[in-house]
Amino acid sequence: MSRAALLVLADGRFPAGGHAHSGGAEAAVKAGRITGAESLEDFCRGRLHTAGLVAASLAAAAALGVDVVALDEAADARTPSPALRTAARKLGRQLMRAARATWPSEELDAVAREFPKGAHQPVVLGVAARAAGLGAVDAAYCAAYESVSGPASATVRLLSLDPFDATAVLARLAPEMDRVADRAVEAGRAVVGGGVDELPAASAPLLEIGAEVHAAWAVRLFAS
Amino acid sequence: MTAVAGGVRALARIVARQDGRGGTSLPVLDGEGPLALRRTRSSGAEARVVVVGAMSGPLGGDHFTVEADVEAGARLHVGSAAATIALPGQAKGEARYDVRLSVADGGELHWLPEQLISARGSDLHVTTRVDVGASGRLVLREEQVLGRVGEEPGRLSSRIRVGVAGRVVLDQELACGPGAPGGWDGPAGLGGCRAVGQLVVVRPEFADAPVAARVLGDHAAVLPLAGPAALVSAVAADALRLRGLLDEALEALDSLG
């Protein structure tokens, strides 16, 4: 494998559309739950250990070659908010387009045919990692990192937060991202033998509720 | 019920069956100790059961299991006489509370227990697994209250998995209290709220006419799931306000038909 391929896939400039999504930060800022670096960190920590862990586990399992249809159904069951399911599929479709152009692969083509409207983004991420010659741990790290880097960069725009402060939040969360990626790879391996019920199902109530509140707004800066 | 080193094991079982006269009989109604069961007055075709806590708990080390099977065409309503309080107890280790429910085709289950209160120092893991047949119906409520008034909560994790016609439509776990992964009480998790609840509604007609997503204020939402089911998710400052939100949401769902 090429370690540099991980940097390409994880780069915020990889053209997969993630910059248009705030990961729930816009709703939390509007509701006054994120007001600065400290509450951003608390938000990101909560997202990392819930939606981030689930996404990283899905990505790890997909990177290990687990059936994507079963993983996609498991992602649906772990995403009760329809606004978040729609966002995840939209992001999955955009990532699919970018990944197929970057790392042409039969497997990516097959998933694209199976899910013309897009599969859940972490599932596509795992398959893309395979196509790039990366492993489950790389896919898990990408998903865990994205689960917090999205809200952090969105909050810089939403609150005019100092970008240095936002980046420091990410750095402080690094040890927890390591643990989440480890757990996700373990879960991904368990899925290979035991099926998708082995995936974690950690949830964050205000992320789900906030996503619906956000989807009901007439005007918003971010898509989700 | 058996008291084993480290805690109490208790099992309650209910089987609901059509009685052939338009009502529902309960050929199995077995409870013990902390999970004593009482049949109460039926209403129409529905049998009603109340779980009566005959002792406090679950305490650390206890393991409670409740199983209810609603057979084809039967209708069962289960409630509880009072809130369940998770307490620390003398035995070391976590307590477990497992709920296993099944609803066969044409059956209907209303599973509406009172709140689960996580008291300071307690450590409880709840799992709820429900399997509903393709034409089965379900209303299930879960409410978790973190601490008694003014009290810090214990450790609580609660995982619920609901399958309809063999497909899992909801799988989610909530973890909170001391020792839970970080951020559970923050702006993504509970945002300082001390009561959190879910209402799961499964109806075959949702397959063709799913409910529309809607928000009830800033702290509750009706969420159509990927399948013939809907989840109401809510957080609130206290148990009373939480119940108000869930009742309001259920009324809104009922008014759809």
Q: Is the Cβ–Cβ distance between B45 and B77 less than 8 Å?
A: no
- Within 13 Å of residue B109, how many CA atoms lie on the same side as its CB? 31
Tell me the residue range of the domain where A128 lies: 3-215
- Of all residues in chain B, the one with the smallest CA distance to A46 is B183
Q: Does A197 sit within 8 Å of B168, measured CB to CB?
A: yes
List pLDDT tens digits, range A54-84.
999 999 999 999 999 999 999 999 999 999 9
Q: Does B213 sit within 8 Å of A212, measured CB to CB?
A: yes
Pairing of strands B84-86, B2-4: unpaired
Q: Which residues of A touch B199 (CB under 8 A)?
A: none
Q: Which residues of B touch A74 (CB under 8 A)?
A: 168, 171
Residue A221 lies in a domain: no
Query: What gap in Å lies between CA A64 and CA A130, rounded to an integer?
Result: 8
Residue A90 lies in a domain: yes
pLDDT exceeds 70 at position A1: no
pLDDT exceeds 90 at position A92: yes
Q: Name the residue among B221, B72, B46 with its Cα closest to residue B136.
A: B72
Confidence of residue A13 (pLDDT cuts 50, 70, 90): confident
Spatial neighbors of A32 by CB under 8 A, at least 6 apart, are none
List pLDDT tens digits, range B113-149.
999 999 999 999 999 999 999 999 999 999 999 999 8
Interface mutation target, options A39, A177, A183, A209, chain B, most CBs of B under 10 Å: A209
Q: Does B225 sit within 8 Å of A43, measured CB to CB?
A: no
Residues A198, B126, B151, A33: is their CA dihedral positive or negative? positive
Q: How many independent structural domains does chain A possess?
A: 1
pLDDT exceeds 70 at position B205: yes
Question: What ipTM was estimated for this complex?
Answer: 0.96
Q: Does A81 sit within 8 Å of B223, measured CB to CB?
A: yes
Q: Does B173 sit within 8 Å of A77, measured CB to CB?
A: no
- Of all residues in chain B, the one with the smallest CA distance to A217 is B215
pLDDT score recorded for residue B2: 65
CATH code at position A163? 1.10.4190.10
pLDDT score recorded for residue B3: 62
Secondary structure (DSSP) of B105-148: TT-EEEEE---EEE-TT-EEEEEEEEEE-TT-EEEEEEEEEESS
Angle, helices A136-159/A121-131, rounded to nearest 10 degrees: 130
Residue A33 lies in a domain: yes
- Which has more confidence, A31 or B58? A31
